[in-house]
Chains A and B, each alone.
Chain A
Amino acid sequence: MKKDNILKKLANKAYEFGFVSKIKTEIIEQGLNEDIIRLISKKKNEPEWLLEFRLESYRYWQTLEMPEWAHLSIPPIDYQAISYYADPLKKNKENKNKEIDPELMKTFEKLGIPLEERLALSGTAVDAVMDSVSVKTTFKEELREKGIIFCSMSEAVQEYPDLVRKHLGSVVNYRDNFFAALNSAVFSDGSFVYIPKGVRCPMELSTYFRINAANTGQFERTLIVADDDSYVSYLEGCTAPMRDENQLHAAIVEIVVNDNAEVKYSTVQNWYPGDAEGKGGVYNFVTKRGDCRGRGSKLSWTQVETGSAITWKYPSCILRGDNSQGEFYSVALTNNYQQADTGTKMIHLGKNTRSTIISKGISAGKSQNSYRGLVRVSKNADGARNYSQCDSLLLGSECGAHTFPYMDIHNNSAVIEHEATTSKISEEQLFYCNQRGIGTEEAIGLIVNGYAKEVLNKLPMEFAIEAQKLLSVSLEGAVG
């Protein structure tokens, strides 16, 4: 048994969700300018204020340059070679409503996301987004009875313009960063969630994102508003076909958490990571942020990141309300030539705010995996507490694992702790498993899942099982 070989033989594993669906899709011409933005806005029949929002964002974006501070090497991106709108729903002239192509239904079924409510996973409502458009949202009516709004962003703009206008961009300003400005200019669809006062959302809400069309970017926008004393658990999953060229995904997620409300946001990100030679794959440049405005509010991010060629993502919590809490649990696995620079920001503004960061990086192949996180305690944030733990696991000697925590403490009553370790799967551990009859590949899967357990435990049950499989599968071929 030569372990070196075992670990070198990473890759060769087929990406399970790499198929392309033959769906008639309306794609607008490539390129980005004010006319394109007007066109997108018009196709979506948007009010004037939203068009203005887009144009302002676009003008600001033009003044910016791609950020370079991350531990990533990003090839130049030609923003004019991307199509910013792709609609897989064909227009039916007699019926004003768009109808769903049966092929499209099949696609989602193949992905394990049934759009028919009778087939649904128990207790989960789904908003399915393909390319630029929300395809279908299930269980809308049941949720409506409780006053919960769960629909696509486009629909929300039409149906609940005041709610959208009040909150859109209130957490992630279009001036926040390069990709936020880009998204604000061209965002197409996404989910909108509103949980009214005192309501506990009875089922998991979930959005499933799929990029299908070639040479398109996906720029979805999600907005979740949890009013006082409410609770919601929200899940997000994503896949894309295998294509040789890179695809751009630049999303924004904004979450508003009011007094004593709680939001759990879980992501299983499995965009196409590129092939074993590093060709193709999704660039995942995402801005996710929650504003814990209310007293005693709580926001918890859980992410399992196994896909994407390049990941640039820092789900953050602004702990504005007194006694508010932020959590970040992350497993980021990189293999082959994948690169990830991911982590979180915990901004403590209110008194007695608490945050917890548990990050587990797993690097294999020739990949680079970085944790980057900021904990800031402002002058008035008396009694702030933070605990951060960032572990790295290395499989093989050609990958890299990096930890870049930033602590910016401006209040003497803060207690901030950061710990980080790096380890590898030892030969002794593998041999011990072998001696008990467990093959090397299975042993690595077992150990990796054990290593990530603290984070996987935070996911809702069905997702946790999926994520476990995904971790093992993503390392398949890592062992042979």
Chain B
Amino acid sequence: MENLLEIKNLHATIDGKEILKGINLTVKAGEVHAIMGPNGSGKSTLSNVLVGHPAYTVTEGEIIYKGKNLLELAPEDRSHEGLFLSFQYPVEIPGVSITNFMRAAVNAKRQYQGQEPMNATEFLKMMREKRAMVNLDSKLANRSVNEGFSGGEKKRNEIFQMAMLEPTLSILDETDSGLDIDALRIVAEGVNKLKRDDTSSIVITHYQRLLDYIKPDIVHILYNGRIVKTAGPELVMELEERGYDWIKNEN
């Protein structure tokens, strides 16, 4: 299998403070990776750096995605190249309906790929299909993006957008946080339905419960800005039993 994403010796800072201190990670097409770790270990920083959040500065290292230097791409171009982040805290955009928002996003991507914008009928049909896929209430689609949504609705909306944009590499940042078990199941099922043989995911989580539904191929433990352990799915169980303290003690 070819390498979809290759992170080499990645260092990143925010407000002058170094958070990532040399990350190495390779994701091949079709793989599901889980990144686990205690709070403050740099999990969210890693996902934000991957999608090019302007608050973070990469000070060293490189990221190769689909053979391209990812760090040179604008955030919207990374999106067009199939990189999707399900935000830990999805942002509210008052007055902008999900329908309009998604139309802008889908057409921007089509333009990037040299395609004509989608016509309204086609687009609405696609909306309907994808909505059904993640059980998103049709009423939500007419509401402003994330405004007044419950925690579960926000996360479901993220997965719905993922379905619309059909990413090659999706990053789920703490998608399980703030969800009850039913909502968690619906979200996870959505993610699984969207999985294709050639698409990959990075699932970032503190707990094992999301990984009961989304089965990772490879599990990493991130601690203090570095990946300190990489193993198969069995590592999840071990963490569940032993907590993070032994990791902290070993490092």
Q: Do chains A and B touch in the complex (CB under 8 A)?
A: yes
Contacts A429-B91, A446-B101, A450-B144 given; indicate if A434 touches B76 (C-beta within 8 A). yes
9-residue interface stretch from A238-246, A343-351, A436-444? A436-444
Contact with A along B20-51 (1 / 0, CB 8 A): 00000000000000000000000000000001
Please tell me if the beta carbons of A435 and B95 are within 8 angstroms of each other in the complex. Answer: no
| A451 contact from B76, B94, B105, B112, Cβ within 8 A | B94
Check: A1 CB closer than 8 A to any chain B CB. Answer: yes
Please tell me if the beta carbons of A438 and B105 are within 8 angstroms of each other in the complex. Answer: yes
Give the interface centre of B55, B90, B94 by most chain A CB atoms within 10 Å: B94
Please tell me if the beta carbons of A435 and B51 are within 8 angstroms of each other in the complex. Answer: yes
Chain A residues near B53: list those with CB within 8 A. Answer: 431
Contact with B along A447-460 (1 / 0, CB 8 A): 10111111000000
Chain A residues near B85: list those with CB within 8 A. Answer: 435
A11–B229 CA distance with the chains assembled, in angstroms:
52
Contacts A446-B100, A446-B104 given; indicate if A434 touches B95 (C-beta within 8 A). no
| A432 contact from B52, B87, B109, Cβ within 8 A | B87
Chain B residues near A454: list those with CB within 8 A. Answer: 95
| B165 contact from A436, A447, A452, Cβ within 8 A | A436
Residue of A nearest to B93 (CB): A429
| A431 contact from B75, B96, B102, Cβ within 8 A | B75
Check: B200 CB closer than 8 A to any chain A CB. Answer: no
Check: A145 CB closer than 8 A to any chain B CB. Answer: no
A434–B243 CA distance with the chains assembled, in angstroms:
37
| A447 contact from B55, B76, B93, Cβ within 8 A | B93
8 A Cβ contacts from A404-445 to B: 426-429, 431-440, 442-443
A437–B51 CA distance with the chains assembled, in angstroms:
11
A308–B44 CA distance with the chains assembled, in angstroms:
47
Please tell me if the beta carbons of A447 and B91 are within 8 angstroms of each other in the complex. Answer: no
A429–B90 CA distance with the chains assembled, in angstroms:
9
Residue of A nearest to B77 (CB): A437
Check: A3 CB closer than 8 A to any chain B CB. Answer: yes
Check: B175 CB closer than 8 A to any chain A CB. Answer: no
Chain B residues near A436: list those with CB within 8 A. Answer: 79, 101-102, 105, 161, 165
Please tell me if the beta carbons of B90 and A432 are within 8 angstroms of each other in the complex. Answer: yes
Q: Closest CB-CB distance, B173 to chain A, in whole Å?
A: 11
Contact with A along B43-87 (1 / 0, CB 8 A): 000000001111100000000000000000011101110001101
Chain B residues near A433: list those with CB within 8 A. Answer: 76, 93, 101, 104-105
Chain B residues near A443: list those with CB within 8 A. Answer: 104
Residue of A nearest to B112 (CB): A437
8 A Cβ contacts from B148-174 to A: 161, 165
Chain B residues near A435: list those with CB within 8 A. Answer: 51, 75-76, 78-79, 84-85, 87
Check: B136 CB closer than 8 A to any chain A CB. Answer: no
Please tell me if the beta carbons of B165 and A437 are within 8 angstroms of each other in the complex. Answer: yes
| B54 contact from A431, A439, A450, Cβ within 8 A | A431
Please tell me if the beta carbons of B95 and A450 are within 8 angstroms of each other in the complex. Answer: yes
Q: Closest CB-CB distance, A307 to chain B, in whole Å?
A: 23
Please tell me if the beta carbons of A442 and B104 are within 8 angstroms of each other in the complex. Answer: yes
A435–B79 CA distance with the chains assembled, in angstroms:
6
Please tell me if the beta carbons of A438 and B95 are within 8 angstroms of each other in the complex. Answer: no
**How many chain-A residues does the 8 Å CB contact rule pick out?**
27
Please tell me if the beta carbons of B91 and A428 are within 8 angstroms of each other in the complex. Answer: yes
Chain A residues near B97: list those with CB within 8 A. Answer: 450
A432–B154 CA distance with the chains assembled, in angstroms:
13
Chain A residues near B55: list those with CB within 8 A. Answer: 427
Please tell me if the beta carbons of B79 and A437 are within 8 angstroms of each other in the complex. Answer: yes
Check: B108 CB closer than 8 A to any chain A CB. Answer: yes
A67–B32 CA distance with the chains assembled, in angstroms:
69
Contacts A3-B54, A446-B104 given; indicate if A434 touches B74 (C-beta within 8 A). yes
Residue of B nearest to A1 (CB): B54
Contacts A1-B54, A431-B53, A436-B101 given; indicate if A450 touches B94 (C-beta within 8 A). yes
Chain A residues near B105: list those with CB within 8 A. Answer: 433, 436-438
Residue of B nearest to A439 (CB): B76
Residue of B nearest to A442 (CB): B104
Please tell me if the beta carbons of A438 and B93 are within 8 angstroms of each other in the complex. Answer: no
Residue of B nearest to A434 (CB): B75
Residue of A nearest to B74 (CB): A1
Chain B residues near A452: list those with CB within 8 A. Answer: 95
A453–B147 CA distance with the chains assembled, in angstroms:
15
Chain A residues near B108: list those with CB within 8 A. Answer: 437-439, 442
A428–B101 CA distance with the chains assembled, in angstroms:
15
Residue of A nearest to B96 (CB): A450
Residue of A nearest to B92 (CB): A429
Please tell me if the beta carbons of A432 and B91 are within 8 angstroms of each other in the complex. Answer: yes
Residue of A nearest to B89 (CB): A428
Chain B residues near A437: list those with CB within 8 A. Answer: 76, 79-80, 105, 108-109, 112, 165
Residue of A nearest to B105 (CB): A436
A376–B119 CA distance with the chains assembled, in angstroms:
49
Chain A residues near B109: list those with CB within 8 A. Answer: 437
Please tell me if the beta carbons of A453 and B91 are within 8 angstroms of each other in the complex. Answer: no
Chain A residues near B91: list those with CB within 8 A. Answer: 426, 428-429, 431-432
Q: Closest CB-CB distance, B45 to chain A, in whole Å?
A: 14
Chain A residues near B52: list those with CB within 8 A. Answer: 1, 434
Chain B residues near A453: list those with CB within 8 A. Answer: 95
A327–B84 CA distance with the chains assembled, in angstroms:
44
A450–B108 CA distance with the chains assembled, in angstroms:
18
Please tell me if the beta carbons of A446 and B96 are within 8 angstroms of each other in the complex. Answer: yes
Please tell me if the beta carbons of A450 and B93 are within 8 angstroms of each other in the complex. Answer: yes
Chain A residues near B87: list those with CB within 8 A. Answer: 432, 435
Q: Closest CB-CB distance, A441 to chain B, in whole Å?
A: 10
Q: Closest CB-CB distance, B89 to chain A, in whole Å?
A: 8
Chain A residues near B80: list those with CB within 8 A. Answer: 437
A431–B50 CA distance with the chains assembled, in angstroms:
13
6 residue pairs bridging A and B, Cβ less than 8 Å apart: A431-B54, A434-B52, A434-B79, A435-B78, A446-B104, A454-B95
- A-B interface, 4 closest residue pairs, ranked by CB to CB distance from nearest: A450-B95, A450-B96, A437-B79, A434-B75
Question: Apart from A447-B93, A449-B95, what 16 extra A-B contacts exist at CB < 8 Å?
Answer: A1-B52, A1-B75, A426-B91, A431-B54, A433-B101, A433-B104, A434-B52, A435-B75, A435-B79, A436-B79, A436-B102, A436-B161, A436-B165, A442-B108, A446-B101, A450-B96
